[in-house]
Structure formats: C-alpha cells, structure tokens
Amino acid sequence: MKLIFVLVIAAGFVFYFDVVAQLQSISEKNSEAVFYSLIIACVCYGLLLMLPFVPALELGLLLMSIYGADGIIGAYVATVSALMLSFLIGGQFRKNRGASNESWIVVGKLAPIRYLLVKMLYKKVSHRPYMSLALLLNMPGNVVLGGAGGIAMMAGASGHMQFVRYGITVMLATSVLPILFIVGISL
C-alpha cells in the first residue's frame, strides 16, 4: 500500500513539473542526459509493469513516442525483463505458500456453478497455456485481470509453465507493437 502511495505522489510530480517539456529542452542541449533519462524512465517503467493492476501499456507508448527508436528498444527490453521478473516472483509465491491447484475452492450458493465454469475454462485453456498467455498479454483491457504484471505473476505461481518457454512467449507476444512502431518510424 505504501508503494502505491509513493507511485501516486511520483506521478503527481511528473504531471506538475511537465516532464515532457523538460525532456525536450534536455534533448536539445545534451544527448548524454537524454540517454540517462531514457535509462531511468525504462527502469521506472519496468518497475511499474511488474505491479499487478497497473495499466503499463500507456507508459510504454509514452516512452516510445518521446524517445523514438531508442525508446522503442528500451521499452521492449524493460517490458520483457519486467515480465520475466514478475514470473519469477510468482514462482516464489508458489514455493513459499505451498499453493496447489485446489487452492481456489469457491464457497457459497453458486459454488457448484462457479466450480463447473472454472473447470470448463481450465480444460479449454490448459491445452495451450502459452497461446493463452500471449492472448492475455495482448488483450485490450487486461488490467482488469491484473495487467501484464499480474498475469505474469499468476503464470509463475501456477507452476504450469517452464521459464524458457514462458520467456520465448513473452518475447514474441510483446514484440508486435515495437515492430510496428519501428516500421512506422522508418517509413
């Protein structure tokens, strides 16, 4: 909760000090400062992306549009790195909590219906988990499901995915937008 408060305060400062105008003035004066500001922005973006329920796509688009081709590469590397770390953190949750596949048991009057719906959905999705992950990461409004960071944490906590295959899936699934931006810049 404290981290969210700090991030909200930081966002307020960003909007108050008009960071975009400052970055434009920096880029005119010193390209080394632009490079370091890009690195700092990518690290902050990656840290925000790791948090569940954070709509980080907009932040990535902001990086890509402000910094151009360098920002596209930086945002892509930060995205892949953050999702890989979120997956590893989710795996640690599973190890520490001893979670099992039956830990989501539903109680209440609608328990049998919910159980059947979740069981049917699980059967459909469990045959192609990596394709499902790629679709979830690229689905508009995935912040409702936890955002990319939350989806990555749950993928790690589930224990059904291998790290290398997960990494390849994330690299391919998140490469669509950067490729389109780079092609658009070069045209």
Q: What is the pLDDT of residues 76-94, one digit of tens each?
A: 999 999 999 999 999 888 7
The closest of 55, 49, 45 to 145, measured between CA atoms, is 55
Q: Does the pLDDT of residue 136 top 50, yes or no?
A: yes
- In this prediction, residue 59 carries a pLDDT of 86
Task: Please tell me the predicted confidence (pLDDT) of residue 5.
Answer: 58
pTM for the full predicted model: 0.71
By three-state DSSP, how is residue 50 classified?
helix
Q: What are residue 110's phi and psi, to 5 degrees? A: -90, 15
The pLDDT assigned to 80 comes to: 93
6 pLDDT above the threshold of 90: no
72-73-74 Cα angle (round to 5)? 95
Q: What are phi and psi of 56, to 5 degrees?
A: -85, -10
Residue 148 has pLDDT above 50, yes or no: yes
Q: Give the residue from 87, 63, 96 showing the smallest Cα distance to 77.
A: 63
Q: How far apart are CA 40 and CA 32, in angstroms?
A: 13
Rounded to 5 degrees, what are φ and ψ at 109? Answer: -70, -35
Q: Confidence band (pLDDT; 50, 70, 90) for 12?
A: low
| CA dist., res. 19 & res. 37, Å (int) | 11
Q: 31 or 107: which carries more pLDDT confidence?
A: 31
Burial of 7 from C-beta contacts in 10 A (0-12 / 13-18 / 19+): middle
CA R_g for the chain: 19
The pLDDT of residue 105 is above 50: no
Annotate 72-103 with DSSP letters as a single string: HHHHHHHHHHHHHHHHHHHHHHHHHHT--TTT
Alpha-carbon span 58 to 44, nearest angstrom: 13
Q: Does residue 154 sit in helix, strand or coil?
A: helix
Q: How confident is the model at residue 169 (pLDDT cuts 50, 70, 90)?
A: very high
The identity of residue 79, as a single letter, is T
